[in-house]
Amino acid sequence: MKAVSSFSGLLTGEQKIIESIKSWVGGNLIGDDCALIACQLLVSTDALVEGIHFRRDLMSLGQVGWKAVAVNLSDIAAMAGRPRYLFVNVCAPPDFAESDFRCLYQGITDCARQYRLIVAGGDITKSEKLMLSLTVIGDVHENGCLTRSGAKPGDVVIATGDFGASRAGLFQLLSGQVGNRKAATTQARENAETSKSTDHTRDYAINRHIRPLPRLSESWTLVAKTGSTGALMDASDGLADALVQIARASSVGMMIELGSVPIHGKTKKVAAEAGVDPMEWVLYGGEDYELVGCIDANVWGEWRKEGSKGNPFVPIGIVTDGTTIDLTRHGAVAPPLDMSKCFQHLAPT
């Protein structure tokens, strides 16, 4: 067993605090995307704070509600679970009207219904800023449960979808490229925003940022192939963070070919306009909510023989018995990961 401390230099401030909390509370339930408790339920909780995780001049309340549910569902997908119940705590500013609650809950229920999630309770209280804290409960999939710690040397590193698009969408919103500013302060405006948010023909990158889709069916496809063998997590804080978290939890190294990581054409276009290497957004942008996993090479080989139809994953590297994550880009050695570029949850404001 290799020392896991080889990745301690790659932890963000938030992750260091979480490591301390784990040692203070003891036990082994903290560390994956959900807590896997003895009765085989998956439980995950997440908070979204105005000004930190969302801005109301960039997103309507309906969009905030959708995203709050979707990111919690993504944690259930990260362990290949089946979502069941949702609890919603809303801390609302004093001027938050009943119509505002209605708009917020429109987005919450839209997303919950799409994924057959039952809103089972919650709490409302006053606060200076709008804050949502959601808890989702899911069942373990009948084929098994995947965690971050199941990767072994020789496994293939795989990922769904494409990376960097959410950060590209955020860039567009911040630079005022899309007319979503001054979102919804009136009921009529909110209704217009909510209906816009359900239009999947809108800008690809903006849509990826404001309306993430949890990769639940993709995770079920994987666990049907692997059972509980292998590793999985969702890339909520960027591809770099996902790779580090899996490598660290599994005490393995990785070799990643960045040229194999899918990047949408729109993401490349926006990055070019921004004068940014799109790989920066892929690795550190975050909020793509794609899945990153490790699968036995033989199982992967058999799956590939069936063709790419019905397989939502692409290979991006291999798991090694080393203690580092080595990157190449189209075969050439790429700069090492720089975790200071990740979203810092506990950075001073």
| Phi, then psi, of 102 in degrees rounded to 5 | -60, -45
Out of 32, 33, 46, 203, the residue judged to bind Mg ion by CB under 5 A: 33
Q: Are 125 and 91 in contact (CB under 8 A)?
A: yes
- Cα–Cα dist 185/61, whole Å: 9
Tokens of 172: 């567009």
CB of 234 to Mg ion, least distance (A): 4
Shortest CB 237 distance to Mg ion, Å? 8
By CB under 5 A, the residues from 214 to 253 that bind Mg ion are 234, 236
- To Mg ion, the closest distance from the beta carbon of 242 in angstroms equals 9
Can you count the helices (H) and strands (E) in the chain? 11, 12
For residues 112 and 233, which CB has a smaller minimum distance to Mg ion in the complex? Answer: 233
| Residue 174: partners with Cβ closer than 8 Å, 6 or more residues away | 58
Q: Closest approach of Cβ 133 to Mg ion, in Å? A: 16
Q: In angstroms, give the least distance from the CB of 78 to Mg ion.
A: 5
- Evaluated on CA atoms 201, 203, 207, 213, the torsion sign reads positive
| Cα separation, 132 vs 242, whole angstroms | 24
Q: How far is the CB of 74 from Mg ion (least distance, A)?
A: 6
What string of DSSP letters covers 154-185? TPEEEEES-SSHHHHHHHHHHTT-SS--S--S
Rounded to a whole number of angstroms, the minimum distance from the CB of residue 32 to Mg ion is: 8
| Residues found in the chain | 349
CB nearer to Mg ion: pick between 203 and 287: 287
* Closer by beta carbon to Mg ion, 50 or else 288: 288
| Secondary structure (3-state) at 260 | helix
First to last CA, the chain: 39
Nearer to Mg ion, 169 or 212 (CB): 212
The minimum distance between CB 233 and Mg ion, in angstroms, equals 6
Work out whether 287 is an interface residue with Mg ion (CB under 5 A).
no
Distance CA 141, CA 158 (A): 20
The mark string for 75-114 relative to Mg ion (x by CB under 5 A, - otherwise) is x--x------------------------------------
The token pair at 254 is 């990785």
**Which CB, 104 or 246, lies closer to Mg ion?**
246
> In angstroms, how far is CA 286 from the centroid of its own chain?
7
Provide the token pair at 33. Answer: 């995307």
Nearer to Mg ion, 174 or 346 (CB): 346
Which residue is closest to Mg ion by CB?
A: 33
Q: Write the CB contacts of 340 (distance below 8 Å, at least 6 apart in sequence).
A: none
Residue 148 · residue 292 · CB < 8 Å: no
Q: How far is the CB of 92 from Mg ion (least distance, A)?
A: 26
The smaller minimum CB distance to Mg ion, of residues 213 and 270, is found at 213
Site string for Mg ion, 38-77 (x = CB under 5 A): -------------------------------------x--
Cβ distance to Mg ion smaller for residue 162 or 234: 234
Q: Site for Mg ion (CB under 5 A): how many residues? A: 5
In order of 162, 165, 214, the CA distances from 225 in angstroms are 22, 28, 19
Which residue, 75 or 110, is less far from Mg ion as judged by CB? 75
| Interface positions with Mg ion (CB under 5 A) | 33, 75, 78, 234, 236
